[in-house]
Amino acid sequence: MPAKKTTPKSEEKVVKAPAVEGGEATTVVAKTPAKRGKRVQEGRVYVNATYNNTVVTVTDATGNVLAWGSAGSLGFGGPKKATPFASSKVIAAIAEKLQATGPQDIKVIVKGIGSGRDSAIRSLINHGFNILSIKDATPVPHNGPRPPKVRRV
């Protein structure tokens, strides 16, 4: 079985320190922090608020996912997943993930008719995001499904 590949969390660099008067040169292992992702200036936040859950996804301008979260993944269960409180906690968790590299200027796309959609937008504002636009992408039927055939008795 091959060895498991791991990515280093910090890079080690061997540095030789100059000799002190009357002493020898010493070698020191200096740790440098691991490289972090690129800083993203502008992004999109997709809020999908249904009757059962609230799912939030943050992408960059090209659509690459930077972070995501849902009320169910935070431990909310049953009918508590679709509450405004749960959606604000999801935004708080995502804001914590995006603190270092995440976008500050965002466009918000809201989808669904759940109760967490308004509190998600308010929570984005409270966590310091600069909202450029808000778009409602809730699907609306044009004519609905075909009606049932006429009942014959």
Strand pairing partners for 16? 27
Q: Is residue 8 part of a domain?
A: no
* CA 97 – CA 22 distance, rounded (Å): 51
Residue 131 has pLDDT above 60, yes or no: yes
What does the block give as tokens for 128? 């310091």
Is 16 inside any structural domain?
no
Evaluate whether residue 54 is within a structural domain: yes
**Residue 104 corresponds to which amino acid?**
Q
8 pLDDT more than 60:
no
Domain assignment present for residue 33? The answer is no
Tell me the residue range of the domain where 89 lies: 42-136
The CATH number that applies at residue 113 is 3.30.420.80
User: What is the C-alpha separation between 10 and 108, in angstroms, rounded?
Assistant: 35
Q: Residue 152 has what pLDDT?
A: 93
22 occurs within a structural domain: no
Residue 145 has pLDDT above 50, yes or no: yes
Tell whether 7 is covered by a domain.
no
Number of domains in the chain: 1
Q: What are the tens digits of pLDDT across the range 35-94?
A: 456 788 899 999 999 999 999 999 999 999 999 999 999 999 998 999 999 999 999 999
What is the pTM assigned to this prediction? 0.70
pLDDT in tens, 12-30: 566 566 666 666 666 656 5
Interatomic CA distance for residues 111 and 48, integer angstroms: 5
Position 125 scores a pLDDT of 94
